[in-house]
């Protein structure tokens, strides 16, 4: 594993991009997820149908295909994206569909009596959602959202196909240079595992911290 240690700075740079893609995709995916979840629960029939179609098409097609469509397919319409922005967009859209289901379940878990009580105090539907429902729903959604986060951390390896130099792509470049496979693949597997373990620990701490408010 000495060869991995010698090239560790290069691999850590790839790990940086892996984390960056994960965090950006989770942030925008969370925004999309909340909007889609509310649309499915509170929108009219047309909006609900559009939201359901979005979730269905994203969950029903491979993430890799979605990445390829965003990066290569949009060129047919004159839209040419750099690899990193294409990765952000594709994974954010993908993430949003899965997070919307988590958020929808969390919103539905909040007793209707709380919404009615908020209306009784004079709150508008938006105020009730922002002040009463969403804060509680987010707390409920932490465990499934955490699982999605860990899954997204590993799914970033898929953007190596569009030449984003994340962790897997960094290992592939080193393999092409040294013609040695196993040490580099084992090395990045260890880094993925360490990152996943770290974030699992942090998410468990966050969940425990929020549980004191229940």
pLDDT in tens, 99-150: 998 888 888 887 777 777 777 777 777 777 777 777 777 777 788 888 888 9
The CATH number of residue 110's host domain is: 1.10.3720.10
Give pLDDT, residue 176. 93
3-state class of 124 per DSSP?
coil
Cβ 191 vs Cβ 31: under 8 Å: no
pLDDT in tens, 18-72: 999 999 999 999 999 989 998 998 888 999 999 999 999 999 999 999 999 999 9
Structural domain total, the chain:
1
pTM, 2 dp: 0.87
Q: b vs e for 104-132, b when ≥16 Cβ sit within 10 Å of the residue's Cβ?
A: bebbeebeeeebeebeeeebeeeebbeeb
Domain that residue 64 falls in = 2-211
Average pLDDT over residues 172-191: 93
């Amino acid at each position: 594993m000495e060869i991995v240690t010698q090239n560790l700075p290069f691999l850590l740079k790839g790990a940086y991009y892996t984390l960056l893609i994960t965090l950006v995709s989770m942030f925008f995916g969370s925004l999309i997820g909340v909007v889609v979840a509310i649309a499915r629960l509170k929108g009219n029939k047309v909006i609900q149908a559009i939201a359901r179609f979005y979730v269905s098409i994203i969950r029903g097609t491979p993430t890799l295909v979605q990445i390829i469509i965003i990066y290569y397919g949009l060129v047919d319409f004159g839209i040419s994206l750099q690899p990193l922005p294409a990765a952000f967009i594709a994974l954010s859209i993908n993430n949003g569909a899965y997070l919307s289901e988590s958020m929808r379940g969390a919103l539905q878990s909040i007793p209707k009596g709380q919404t009615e009580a908020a209306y009784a105090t004079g709150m508008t539907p938006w105020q009730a959602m922002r002040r009463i429902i969403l804060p509680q729903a987010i707390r409920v959604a932490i465990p499934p959202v955490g699982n999605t986060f860990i899954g997204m951390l590993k799914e970033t390896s898929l953007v190596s196909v569009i030449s984003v130099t994340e962790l897997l792509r960094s290992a592939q470049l080193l393999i092409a240079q040294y013609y040695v496979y196993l040490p580099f693949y084992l090395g990045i597997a260890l880094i993925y595992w360490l990152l996943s373990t770290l974030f699992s620990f942090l998410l468990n701490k966050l969940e425990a911290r929020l549980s004191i408010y229940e």
